[in-house]
Structure 1
Amino acid sequence: MKIKLETLQHQLDALSAIDKAFPGIDNTSNDPDADYIYANSLIKDRYNDKANIDIKMETGTGKTYVYTRMMYELHQKYGLFKFVIVVPSPSIKEGTRSFITSDYAKQHFSEFYENTRVQLNVINAGDFSSRSRRKGRKNFPAQLTEFVESTRQNTNQIEVLLTNQSMLNSTSMKSDDYDQTLLGGETSPIKSIAATRPIVIIDEPQKFPRNKKFYRDIEAIKPQLIVRFGATFPEITICKGKNKVTKIDYYRGEPQFNLDAVDSFNQGLVKGVDIDYPDISEEQASNLYKVKQVKPKELILTKNGKDYQINVGENLADVDSNFEGNITYDGGTERKLSNELLLAKDMKLIPGTFSVNYQDEIISQALDRHFEAEQENFLRSNSNKNVPKIKTLSLFFIDSISSFRSDNGKKGWLADHFESLLLEKLNKLINKYSKLNGKREKEYYDFLQATIHSLKSEHQKVYAGYFSKDRGSSDKYIQAEVEDILNNKEKLLSFKDKNGNWITRRFLFSMWTLREGWDNPNVFVIAKLRTSGSDINKIQEVGRGLRLPVDENGHRLKQDEWPSRLSFLIGYDERDFAQKLVGEINEDSPIKLNHDKLTEEMINLIVKNQQKTNPEFTSDQLVNNLGELKIIDFSHNFKNDVQIDDKTISGFDALCQLYPEIKNQTTVANDRVRDKNSTSLTKVKLRKDNWKQLQELWGQLSKRQMIKFNSDVNQKAEIIAQKIFDQQNIFVLQQHQIIHNELKVSDGQAFTNETQSDDNNNYLTMKYGKFLKSLTKQTGLSVNLLNNLMIEKIKSLSNDDRYINEKTLANLVRTFNRQFNQEIINSYKYEELNFTASTSIYNAKKQQFIDSISANDLGVYQSDSNSDETYLYERPPLRYDSAEPELEILKRSYDDKVKVFGKLPKRSIKIPRFDNGTTSPDFIFKIENEDGPVYLIIETKAENMRVGDEVIKTVQEKYFNRLKESGVYYQMATSEQQVHDLIKKLEDNDKIN
């Protein structure tokens, strides 16, 4: 499996914001070093905070992708080619290195930036060791030399230096006594980097506050421009009169792009989160010890007014036998227990949560959640036999390495317990699937059997661990585990190797080593078998599992394609985690809701949103409207007894009902984070009498449809290919660039004048076999066809094989795929199969509608509404995904001719798409006119439809047009008024296209 990076809209929006905020190149500078070939061009407002840029993106939304593509953009537009990426830790550095150097990233960016490559130079601590010295000479690391001394002459190469904060702060980087010199004279790494006038990218800016030493290290390399990327930014305290105020430290007072946690969760850009924890008895929960004092040599616990002193090396079980597992106080500067739990004053310890049985309970729950997700992801509801599977991974954070693996490499007690519980659950599943005959079910049965076989082998490959001490281990089996976890992302996401053998590894163990910087999108379960110890960022804790998953073909799935959730299992002592996480998400919103008064921030948010559809809408108009409705008084205070729809509610609630965006954009939606111990999943009950009016139609919609392509598709592909080979400007020459520098003297100053030209004697080419193989792979055309076309084409080019190059290859692939997709969209039809299939709303086996559905299948937002007997669900509240036009359609009153109406849940019809996956429309109306009942199917979209929306429109039109004889009409609508007009037409017996 190869991961396929895709361009996501929010990432393009971030790049657009950077482009808008970029100060530009200073072409008017009189600096004699402006054209210095080892350095970036001069930037306007350089070395000034007003030029610097902040990009705020929540964990899991792809900030590494954005800053990597930003480097390509700045190189393409402005010729900038020296970038320094600074990250907090070696683990984040490894994650960044892995992404930038991955084949899938290189292939993705080559589609947009032809013949441009990133030369990544990574600086590690060992690079400055004595082993880098030759014959007693102290030389610079090769990576540093490559970065500093590369010039603009290589116009297709971007030089990137990647380092972490402690490496940048090291004496090796600051030393000035190297024998070797750089740039003809520099003997200090810091000074030589500064001479390149770099652009610095800071990852995780909260680790680099501007008043601390690590930021001063960044300033020492004299960046012309700094771009910071992070989910959180450092805080600063400023004095306002006699008061001290803490605020977020942004370069320009605010981020130039802000994708906060609320937007990330509500827009489905990250997984939803379910929180689980094992319950314990009231007696156990009340048996609580509080940390009174924690010193390097002693720990004092207190309970019911009595103190208990524990010295270093003494066992907690001496205080209470429920502290199981031979846990001692290690003390020292870190003040921790032997199970790695960091202690702090006032921390609460519950002995029962330290027991082995208690950890077994969390492991058992985690395995249950894993196999629930794995079966869903593997079978994909069997809605489409060809839909790609999704590999499911689980991540366990444990409290000690020895519980997993002893120093001699043998399994610890925790690994033994894990294997025992895993085997028990695998055997139950194998028994279940041995009785099922479906093709996908049989395949899953084989996968489970392979898992058992591997577990029972001498060196199992089902679970793996990675801990900091594993770096450099001589044990080849440990190294294989580490390599799989850290570097073989695509292997972990794959089901089979190149020989067709199952890849069964999917359970990973660590001690927080796999936090920031480690990225695998298919983590569906995280289990904490240890307490955090400190009140760290909750979003960071779940961050390893927030990314949306990829299927076995490497395609990243959006929430509407496959609703993904992360199960997060914790201990009882952290049972308030869900509330803290929700609070942290909401706190991240730039707008703070005031329930007592309408603030300027709230006014601006509403006005900005309203102006999307009504550009003339103003703040005065908003305030006047609210005043006339008696929602606010003259001082903008909310009134307490507002009458809305014959109900008395508060002014704040009335505002939220009239302008739902005020909460939608500032508060995480219900069910995006769920505490599964305290609440059941939100369900919406169906009004069965209303759905029965759709029973006859659903008999047709539940029949499975197969996409059948026209018999001439292959022929059309060949014709398109032949035409492309005859086009002008497809086959081009690709030349090296020559940079000419002329030394000149003006006003007593020497400088170089740089010019660029093609090297007519030096051309870039590819081997024919590699060219043809790549062309076949990327177009799907046969080798014979392409070989024949190539032979004829090269003949027409006087047998000049210099035209066989990467640029020609990219031209052929891009042009063919664009024209072929335009052709194929009209070259298929739907063919009804002889069986029905269940969907999210319909049980095909029983031929009846189900009783209730998940509220999230109708929409992530909710709103109060009057009861309407024709609606398909019990209400209020209404569920919806967008205020315009969805909520407007739902809130409108319809006349008696509309017998039933409602929003269709996700995956309710499952129309196969020609480009893979399925789609479902948004609304259905049953309308009675003179000729009997007719049905109106609506797909709602915003005014500015994207390419993907056009595909949905084409697919759904083709699917529903075949049902016109049954009185089914389909339309895509961008406003509530359009829907109303369509209903009126059908009520009046007018036909619609």
Structure 2
Amino acid sequence: MKLKFKTQPYQTAAVQAVVACFNGQTPQYGGVRYRLDPGEKKEAPASPQSAFDLEADVGTVVDQEAAFRNADVILSESALLDNIQQVQRLQNLPVSSELVKTKVSKVNLDIEMETGTGKTYCYIKSIFELNKQYGWSKFIIVVPSIAIREGVAKSLEITSDHFLETYQKKARFFIYNSKALHHLESFSSDAGINVMVINVQAFNATGKDARRIYEELDDFQSRKPIDVISANRPILILDEPQKMEGGKTLDSLVNFKPLMVLRYSATHKTTHNKIHRLDALDAYNQKLVKKIAVRGISVKGLAGTNAYLYLQSVDVSTKKPPEARVEFELKLASGQIKRVVRKLSKGDNLFVLSNELDQYRGYVVSDINAITDTLSFTNGVELLVGEADGDVNEAALRRIQIREAIKAHFDKEQALFQQGVKVLTLFFIDEVAKYRDYSAADEKGEYARVFEEEYQFYLNEVLDLDETLYIKHLKGIAVEKTHSGYFSIDKRTKKLVDPEMGKKATEADDVDAYDLILKDKERLLSLSEPVRFIFSHSALREGWDNPNVFVICALKHSDNTISRRQEVGRGLRLSVNQLGDRMDHPSIVHDINVLTVVASESYKDFVAALQKDISESLSARPRVADKAYFTGKVFNTTDGPITVSEDRATDIEFYLIQNGYVDKKRNITEKYHQAKKAGTLEALPDELQPHAEQVFELIDSVFTEAQIVQPEDGRKAKKLEPNANFEKQEFKALWSRINRKAAYNVHFDSDELVTKAVKALDEHLRVTPLQYTIQRGSQSSQVTIDGLKDGTAFVLQDSIVETNGNSIHSAVKYDLIGKLAEGTQLTRRTVADILRGINMAVFGQFKTNPENFIAEANRLINEQKATVIIEHLAYDPVEDKFDLDIFTSGQTKQDFSKAGNKLQRHIYDYVLTDSNVERDFVKELDTCTDVIVYAKLPRGFLIPTPVGDYNPDWAISFKEGAVKHVYFVAETKGSMSSMSLTPIEQTKIDCARKFFTEINKRYAPENVRYDVVNNFGKLMELVK
């Protein structure tokens, strides 16, 4: 398998934020030529090539004494600050009042990106884009650990072909090694993109190897490596800079003489000029990372009893009452005591089932509640799922964790196997001996032994299911082959060792620990690779980011050195299938991508700690929704950016006060969040209504604790079986009419698109001129020493914002046609025809702000392109159909505890709804006597459209004779007005109308009606 990469808008935004900070910088392709210090020539044996020196021959290499360094930043500090402020305003970030300088560099840009959103990809792409726009070519990626270093090198390797397609060039990269210094000469003398990856220990430690970078070396022609490196004026990229903020590290970084420093992290501790933010809330709300589910384990002790009990789950079925899966102790015929897992029903007596162990007297099951997930006994004892009672030592707790992790793995694997997604489970442990015990005959440690026992037990249950491809796949994997341990390897004994063991461990030994995890990422993702469960040392928490980790279990004592965010961080990345494609379709992304954490504490405690970690990471977010905050913010509208005036800011604040959406301190209230979730927010005043979407985005950017996502309880998720309605002929007839698949095609004349695009650009293209601020002040009437120290000796008198109508980009060469062709996926000829047709006054705006011109032109042309596509779209049904088992085998487990009352006419007893509109719709639909059967269409039922796949909401079968349209497919929306729908929503609906029209024409004349409804009354109006 080969991982695939595609251009993601949110990643492009992070790259463009960096590039736009240097608007006006004159590009100098190839860099500035200088004479490389040749040192004292000596014959030295050639050093072996680095394992990651994959592109050593790429680029133009000239004679050894000729070299190329990065050109200086020619922008004045005020111009640079203006650019940074413009970037910040467009993202509604706090606007910097000055360049934040450090001892390392005068240019320090912070890029905040949540773990799992591809920050490594973003800074690699930024390297290519900075080279393309400005000619900079020398980059050093600095990382805090060997694990992250190896991960970065792997990312450079696997993205090389992807970036070659986009930029028609490759980057030459290598890992700095003090014993392979020949790479530094190539780094200097090569005119192409050159990237060095280095971990801080290589220049900031006391060891002999670390000191070599500052010493004149005989094997480097009596030169200091740091002098050769710094002569290139490299751009430093700091990965996880919060781990490199010590005074000694910063002093060391000064020696690199960097042109600038770009800092990438999810958790910046020290803030500089922040130019991009994609934090935990943004990442989750935009569905860029996995959802989190937690299986907590709480130990509950009752005084005066040692009866061991563990309530593992409450199983539900449409065919029988709920059952409780319980672990308890059983007396064998030999007299030995063994712990077993059994299913209990109401009335079962544990005293009898345990073969009359006295501690279970009085333990008769009185109730099993699937809604609250509780098991009650007649003696008053009550257990929640995940609670263990009685004699629970550490060994018992670890066994429970391993069992829960295996169960969570199988639950996820059964749902995803048919979609070609490999599921991985990751166990973190404290010491190798617990997994690999070399003193044992079979070398299995305690955890390996427990794992195989629990795995085999659960596997036997799964194998009782029908013989499917998944079951056949499981039968082909031996239990001892399905797990593996990845640790450091002692080169002498070839045995696994703890990474912190002993003074003999070297950097090379540590690298061996990461080979399979970091370098064989693709192999682990393949279904043909039997390893599905990974045991690794807790030290590997950083740098390990395989996208298909769906379960994480830490078999260790909890401590305060590892935050809950770190604990889940290794599994947040979105998964990929066997083709290497990301499973990121908006309609299914959070059905598939759920990370289950098996915690050694209660669900409540783990979630509280996790939310505290997330809240602290969001400390930089604004907390007060008042006029001062809203003033000066930017609405990004279809007509271009609009700055929020003081009057408009006052209107927003008054709206919030008037409706009780803020308290007296202007903190957002729970009332606002509840109303927004329910779709019942009060209407905005008329003057704000045209920008309603932007207003609420701005309000939502103000942080409250209520915004933090509540992780799911992983045990509450259950998989329901279809009920008798699923077997009704009316449902089968309905399904046979809508289960057709189709392909679409579009044939249109490019002249038509050119005409429409020219008209749209002439009417709507408005570019925001670059602005700059002039501040005027003078000395105070009386100047004191204190005033000189604290800056109050000068008084600011006024600030004037001026607009620059003249070009400051005359020296920059823009490939305007190429940028628009790339952004619209049109040919250069078509783009050139559009630009030739627009009004010269409109085209003249390009000079005042080229980046804004390109962005707005791309948007307007793409809107017209979508319109033309719809007008000329046609569907061709194909022979392939959706299988009926899309309702069953592909169903993921869901929490039905809040699904409402049991339903009469749906194919399941319960259905989860997405909004109040849907909830009200279901209530009336389920009680309507004209309805025979209906179904919430599964997320896998997709209609292809040019703007993404579309998943309709409902399929309904009515009684014949009672209505005109017996078979109906409905989309439920809160508003019927096309003005209230996003352009993409409206386009998908228009495509769906064409799809069902074609299906009706071919297979079911006039039988299936598709439409959008906002309530049950509208539906009945249409079907009657």
TM-score between both structures, scaled by the size of structure 2: 0.58
Alignment match of 1:375 (pick from 407, 411, 414): 414
Render the CA deviation track for 1:875-931: whole Å, top value 9, x for unaligned. 9xxxxxxxxxxxxxxxxxxxx9xx99xx99672571354999974125789999996
- CA separation in 2, counterparts of 1:610 and 1:25? 28
Q: Taking structure 1 as reference, are residues 989 and 399 closer, same or farther at Cα in structure 2, changes over 3 Å only?
A: closer
1:486 is matched with which residue: 507, 518, 521?
Answer: 518
Q: State the partner residue of 2:470.
A: 444
List runs of 5+ in structure 2 lacking aligned partners: 36-65, 81-98, 307-388, 498-508, 686-691, 748-868, 892-903
Instruction: Determine the structure 2 residue equivalent to 1:726.
Output: none
1:13 aligns with 2:13: yes
Corresponding letter in the other structure for 1:495: L
- Aligned partner (choices 424, 431, 455) of residue 393 of structure 1: 424
**1:282 deviation in Å?**
2.2
Cα deviation for residue 524 of structure 1 reads 0.8
AA aligned to 2:235 is: I
Which of 830, 834, 839 matches 2:887?
Answer: 839
What residue is the counterpart of 2:734 in the other structure? Answer: 700
Superposition deviation, residue 521 in structure 1: 0.5
Q: Give distance in 1, aligned partners of 2:604 and 2:660.
A: 42
Matches within 5 A, 1:838-987: 839=887, 848-854=906-912, 858-859=913-914, 868=920, 907=938, 910-911=941-942, 913=944, 919-921=950-952, 937-938=970-971, 954=991, 957-959=994-996, 961-963=998-1000, 965-966=1005-1006, 968=1008, 970=1010
Q: Quote the Cα distance in structure 2 between the aligned partners of 1:640 and 1:567.
A: 28
Residue of 143, 153, 162 corresponding to 2:197: 162
* 1:223 equivalenced with 2:253 (yes/no): no
Corresponding residue for residue 358 of structure 1: 397
Cα offset for 1:957? 3.3
Deviation at 1:365, TM superposition (A): 1.0
Kept after mapping to 2: 8 A contact 1:606/1:662? no
* Change in 2 beyond 3 A, CA 1:264/1:709: closer
RMSD: 5.7
Aligned amino acid, residue 566 of structure 2: Q
* Residue 466 to residue 626, structure 1, CA distance change in 2 (3 Å): closer
Q: Which runs of 5+ in 1 are unaligned?
A: 133-139, 235-248, 288-349, 380-387, 497-502, 717-820, 876-895, 973-978
Q: Is the 8 A contact 2:937 2:954 kept in 1?
A: no
Give the Cα–Cα distance (whole angstroms) in 1 for the partners of residues 9 and 572 of structure 2.
18
Is 2:877 the partner of 1:829?
Answer: yes
| Letter of the 1:584 counterpart | D
* Mapped contact 1:6–1:556 kept (Cα < 8 A): no
The equivalent of 2:134 in structure 1 is 78
Look up the equivalent residue of 1:492 and give its one-letter code. Answer: L
Distance 1:88 1:422, change over 3 A: same
Paired residues for 1:207-286 under 5 Å: 207-209=243-245, 212-234=247-269, 249-252=270-273, 255-283=274-302
CA shift for structure 1 position 392: 0.7
Q: Does 1:519 align with 2:545?
A: yes
Relative to 1, partners in 2 of residues 1:406 and 1:449: Cα closer, same or farther, differing over 3 Å?
Answer: same
Deviation at 1:446, TM superposition (A): 2.5
Question: In the aligned structure 2, how far is the partner of 1:909 from the partner of 1:495?
Answer: 21
Aligned to 1:142: 182
Asked if 1:534 corresponds to 2:594, the answer is: no
The TM-score with structure 1 as length reference comes to 0.60
- Residue 113 of structure 1 aligns with which residue? 167
1:470/1:482 contact within 8 Å kept? no
Deviation at 1:82, TM superposition (A): 0.4
1:346-745 superposed matches below 5 A:
355-379=394-418, 388-407=419-438, 410-430=443-463, 432-433=464-465, 435-436=466-467, 441=468, 443-452=469-478, 455=479, 460-469=480-489, 474=494, 483-496=515-528, 503-558=529-584, 560-562=587-589, 563=591, 564-572=593-601, 576-589=605-618, 598-600=625-627, 603=630, 608=635, 618-626=648-656, 629=659, 662=699, 666=703, 673-676=711-714, 680=716, 699-701=733-735, 705-707=739-741
- Once the two structures are TM-superposed, the CA of residue 604 in structure 1 deviates from its matched residue by 6.4
Contact 1:492-1:505 within 8 A present in 2 as well: yes
In the other structure, the counterpart of 2:829 is none
Structure 2 CA distance for partners of 1:72 and 1:922, relative to 1, 3 Å: farther
Aligned length: 704
Could you tell me whether the CA contact under 8 Å between 2:302 and 2:390 is conserved in 1? Answer: no
2-side partners of 1:98 and 1:178: how far apart? Answer: 30
Report the CA distance between 1:536 and its aligned residue.
2.8
Q: Cα offset for 1:466? A: 1.6
Q: Which secondary structure does the structure 2 equivalent of 1:445 belong to? A: helix
Who is 1:98 aligned against? 154
Matched residue, 2:234: 198
Post-superposition shift, 1:592? Answer: 5.9
Q: Deviations along 1:231-275, whole A, 9 cap, x unmatched?
A: 0012xxxxxxxxxxxxxx3222xx211111011122221111111
Contact 1:825 1:914 in 2 (8 A): no
Distance verdict in 2 for CA 1:396–1:930, change over 3 Å: closer
Letter in 2 for 1:957: K
Could you tell me whether the CA contact under 8 Å between 1:936 and 1:968 is conserved in 2? yes
1:931-952 CA distance string (max 9 Å, x none): 6789574498997757x99689
Cα distance, 1:362 vs. partner? 0.9
Contact map agreement 1:641 1:651 (CA 8 A) in 2? no
Provide the rounded CA distance (Å) in 2 between the counterparts of 1:989 and 1:673: 41
In structure 1, C-alpha distance between the alignment counterparts of 2:735 and 2:124, rounded to whole Å: 45
Paired with 1:6 and 1:641, the residues of 2 have a C-alpha distance of 40
Give SS of 1:111's match: helix
User: What is the deviation of 1:195?
Assistant: 0.7
SS at match of 2:651: helix
Give the whole-Å Cα distance in 2 for the aligned partners of 1:276 and 1:37.
57
Counterpart code for 2:216: D
Distance 1:571 1:631, change over 3 A: closer
Aligned position for 1:735: none
Matches of 2:550 and 2:488, distance apart in 1:
24
Q: In structure 2, what is the equivalent of residue 172 of structure 1?
A: 211
Percent of aligned positions that are identical? 26
Q: Do the aligned residues in 1 keep the contact of 2:290 with 2:572 (CA within 8 Å)?
A: yes
Q: Which amino acid aligns with 2:994?
A: E
Structure 1 pair 9–28 and aligned structure 2 pair: CA distance change class (3 A): closer
8 Å contact kept, 1:549–1:557: yes
